[in-house]
Amino acid sequence: MVAKKAKFTMKASNRQVEQYLRGQTQRKAGPAVNAQVRSELEKMLNGMCREFEGQPLDVVKAELVDRYALVTGGGSITDPELSQYVEEIARGGSFNA
């Protein structure tokens, strides 16, 4: 039996990213900083999509954890969002937070 590949529509993925990023950044700062952090995270994620397309998930995961901490000033990303983002990056998707 062949395992079904998870299907992510960009609309659903973008909504999930936006909700997660909004929640994470609102806990740390005010609205103006939230928008800036979301913008920086979006740029980072889209850059990683281009850079890590087709790479093994474990490689993408390690790099995402490190870069996320840098962009958010020490913040962390955990499952299930971490795994969803890693899969999106590895398939060469895009993010619109």
SS3 91: coil
Residue 70, domain extent: 32-97
Examine the pLDDT at 50 and tell me if it is beyond 60: yes
Any domain includes 4: no
Any domain includes 8: no
Quote the tokens at residue 49: 């999509």
Over residues 8-44, the pLDDT tens digits come to 444 445 556 666 666 655 555 566 667 888 899 999 9
Q: What is the pLDDT of residue 16?
A: 61
The count of structural domains within the chain is 1
Rounded distance between C-alpha atoms, residue 75 and residue 8, angstroms: 25
Any domain includes 37: yes
